[in-house]
Structures are given as C-alpha cells and as structure tokens.
Structure 1
Amino acid sequence: MTEEAIASSPPIRVFVVEDQTKILKNQLKLLESHHDIEIIGTALSGEAALEEVAKALPDVMLLDLGLPRMSGIDVTRHVKAQWPHVEILIFTIFDEEDKVLEAVKAGASGYLLKGTPADKIIEAIKEVRAGGTVIQPNLARRLLRHFRVEPDAGPVPTAPAAPAPAVAAPPETPPAPTPDGSGEPLLKPLSDRETEILQLIAKGVSNSEAAKLLDLSKATIRTHLEHIYRKLEVTNRVEAVTEGIRKGLISV
C-alpha cells in the first residue's frame, strides 16, 4: 500500500476495554485527538466487551489484561474465536509476563505497557492493523525466555520420554555444524539486510522506526519481514525473534 493510499484510508476503528474509569478516560483523551483513529466503543468488563464487540466489530481492541471476573486472556480467546479479524493489543504491567504469554498464545497481536506515550500507542494500533506484531523491549527478553524453554520437538515427533537428567548427555551423532552455529540449517539463509531488520525487531523497533533508521520505505520493511518469516518458517514477530535467537542469528 502506498503512502498516499494509507493517508486516504478510513480511520482505524478502535474499541477500548478498561475497568478503571479514570484510566479509561485518560486513554480516550489521548486517542481521540488523532484523526486516523476512531473510538467506536468502550467497556468496563470483559463480559460487556463481548456484547459490544458483536455489534461494533472494531478493527483493533485495546484490552486491559487485569480485568475482574473474565480476564483479558479469556476475552482474547473469545474474540479471536468469533471475530478473528479483530486485532487485539494487550495493556499490561511489568509483573504480568506469564499472563502476557498466555494472551499472545490466545491470539493477541501484541502488548503495551501501561503509561505508554500516545504516539507509541497510535503506532502500535497501526502496526497490528497492518498485520504486524508489537514487541515492547522492556518485556521482550522475559517473554522470549518462555518461548526458549519450550522443548523443540525436532523434525519427527516422538512419544513422551522419561524426564531428562539435570545434565543431558550429548547425542550419539551430533548434527553437522552450520553457519549460524545452531546445528539447524535454514531453508534459505537470511541476507545481511534481513538479519539487520530482525535484530531491530528484537529490540522492539516498529516498522516505521526501522524504515527511518535504515532509510527504507515501510513497504520495503514489510517485504523483508515476509521474507524473514518464510525463511524461518514462522508467522509473526515473536516467533521470528525467538527463532533468530535460537539459531544464533541475533542476540538480545
């Protein structure tokens, strides 16, 4: 999509879910001044959100993770099951990393820390609306730790084995070394530019910020991301960064 087309696009329809009325009012005040964002509804609970979303059908939902009764994770599961086109951005705090992980697994497209500046929120809304995933650098390392400790099933699934000893014995036939040092060759190696972009993503840089840093268009950044996803056999930023770290292509 060209910059002209983006500029002439209708505003992004946003629905905000926050149980604290004071915080909700502040969020609305921050967002309503942006002409490319249209607030089409709000809710103070997960239950109310599901009722209203069925009528409003927003493009993006800003969802508080710490809702009473029905949690933000449960809301995410319900919304993505019924309206998969609705992108969800989670609002979280530092000590909710386990819940953030569950929300991402449930279908959330990203997360923001409470208190994030308005321009960053707007950028994140545009990012997920365009099909991207938002990674905040403050939580990226902690979130990635969860992904990295999950066992890699390998090319052929096997039946569950007995618990491994504290120090696992080396395999009888170690894999042949590869350029990335992981023992797992890529289908196609990443180019220098793709590796550079993947490293920026790992640091929490958005598409727009990466475009400015590298003096490229946002369309070019998106194309590079598509190539990265295909080569790493992943579907989003979190998975791409995780695979990049696991294969020794980047570091955080």
Structure 2
Amino acid sequence: MERRIRVFVVEDQPAVLAAQVRLLETSPAVELVGTACSGEEALRLAPPALPQVVLCDLGLPGIDGIETTRRLRRLAPPPEVLILTVFEEEERVLAAIRAGAAGYLLKGAALPRVVEGIQDVCAGGTVIQPSLARVLLRHFGSPNVVQQPGSSLTPRETEILQIIGKGLTNREAAEVLGLSRATVRTHLEHIYGKLEVTNRVEAVAEGIRQGLIDA
C-alpha cells in the first residue's frame, strides 16, 4: 500500500472546515495531520505537523491565503500548497501561484478530484482549471505568437497539452486517452522540457501563446 499523504487544512469557516475534514477522513490516500482557522494559526501549527500538502483558503482573516502560502513555502521542508477557492477569485489565485502555490481546487469539489489534486502536487505537478486560462494570458504575455510549422511537440504531446488545458487531472487524461497515469506523467515531463517550462500553469500559458491551445 502506498504511504498516505500528510495533509493540513486551513479554512476560517467552521462549517466548511468540518465538511472538508469529513471528506478527507474518508480517503485511504490521505492522512489529515492538522487544521487551522487563520493564517497565523496555520503558521504556528503546520510546521510541527510536517504536512506534505496544505489546502489553504484565500479569504483568511489577518494574514491572508496569499501571504500564508508565501510563508509556508519558506518552511524546511516546504509543503506544497493547494488554494481552496471559488471562480470569482482568479486574480487572487494567480497571486497565490506567484507566491508559490502549486495550483487550486474549487470549494465543493468531489473527493476523487481533491485527492487527485493532492496526489498530483505531491508528485511535483500543478493543478489548474480552464477558467484560469485568460488570466494566465495576461500574466505570462501576449497570445499573438503563433505556432511554428515545425512544433517540437508530437501529436500525442499536443493532445495531452490540450487536455490539461481543459483542467483534466492526470487520471482523467489517462482515462480519456486510454493510457496509464505513468505514461501521461512521462509525456508531461517531455512537454515541460520542450516548452522550457516547469509546471502545468506555465505549460498551458505557453501552449496558448503558440496556438496549441484555444484561449
């Protein structure tokens, strides 16, 4: 059996936090090692708990989710941070990504998607949703650069890039394409290398710029 991933949750609304705790406790892939209701509390309680992944709300009282993310990422070892958010917070999500977050999950997401996101970032991946695409364009630059005829991506790599640009997880992409998750991860590593990026966020932005993904 694979070792469970150590997860810490930061959420200021007690009812939402309780729901998240109940959800995570049903997963054999996750070990819940602590919770906090504020950024200050998270920065005090998370370090001794040694979480591998922190689920962090953006709208925290006092130290907000962006600054909390920045400080959590300074820990040794630094946990991966997944932002918990709603659609209307895209600009703040981007600020959290710049602060070191590995991506974001929508509040109310089903357990399989939450666990998949946790597993993805724990393995060095990034979790994004398609609604972030236009904000990525504004942040990473103009989309007016068109794809060159001799694109370095293979047809399969281009297909996978387009799929992750729609917000699908590695598991979902594997199911759509009839591949194993390990094969999808290998293709993603090749995509990152060819596009000279380090994660999904940058890969999707570069794919949009090159005309490989429709914004």
- State the TM-score, normalizing by the size of structure 1: 0.80
Q: Secondary structure at the match of 1:95?
A: helix
Q: What code does the residue aligned with 2:133 have?
A: R
Matching residue within 168, 181, 199 for 1:205: 168
1:125-171 Cα shifts (integer Å, max 9, x gaps): 1111111111122x22243233244799xxxxxxxxxxxxxxxxxxx
> How far apart are the structure 2 equivalents of 1:31 and 1:55?
20
Which portions of structure 1, spanning 4 or more consecutive aligned residues, are displaced by more than 6 angstroms? Answer: none
Residue 145 in structure 1 maps to residue 108 in structure 2: no
Aligned to 2:48: 55
Distance 1:209 1:236, change over 3 A: same
> How far apart are the structure 2 equivalents of 1:89 and 1:117?
15
Q: Secondary structure at the match of 2:73?
A: helix
Matching residue within 126, 129, 132 for 1:133: 126
> How far apart are the structure 2 equivalents of 1:250 and 1:82?
36
Aligned to 1:94: 87
Unaligned runs of 5+ in 1: 1-7, 153-174, 181-185
Aligned to 2:107: 114
CA contact (8 A) 1:14 1:40 kept: yes
> How far apart are the structure 1 equivalents of 2:195 and 2:56?
30
Q: How does 1:167-206 map to 2 (within 5 A)?
A: 178-179=148-149, 189-206=152-169
Q: What code does the residue aligned with 2:71 have?
A: H
Aligned to 2:35: 42
> How far apart are the structure 1 equivalents of 2:111 and 2:207?
30
Q: What code does the residue aligned with 1:217 have?
A: S
Q: What code does the residue aligned with 1:73 have?
A: I
> How far apart are the structure 1 equivalents of 2:77 and 2:185?
21
Larger Rg: 1
CA contact (8 A) 1:13 1:37 kept: yes
Matching residue within 188, 191, 199 for 1:228: 191
> How far apart are the structure 1 equivalents of 2:93 and 2:208?
20
Matching residue within 192, 214, 217 for 2:177: 214
Following superposition, the deviation at residue 84 of structure 1 comes to 5.2
Aligned to 2:25: 32
> How far apart are the structure 2 equivalents of 1:135 and 1:243?
14
Q: How many residues align?
A: 214
Q: What code does the residue aligned with 1:110 have?
A: G
> How far apart are the structure 2 equivalents of 1:250 and 1:45?
38
1:2-27 Cα shifts (integer Å, max 9, x gaps): xxxxxx22111000000111110011
Q: What code does the residue aligned with 2:212 have?
A: L
CA contact (8 A) 2:53 2:81 kept: yes
> How far apart are the structure 2 equivalents of 1:78 and 1:113?
22
Following superposition, the deviation at residue 61 of structure 1 comes to 0.3
CA contact (8 A) 1:97 1:142 kept: no
Following superposition, the deviation at residue 83 of structure 1 comes to 3.4
Aligned to 1:85: 78
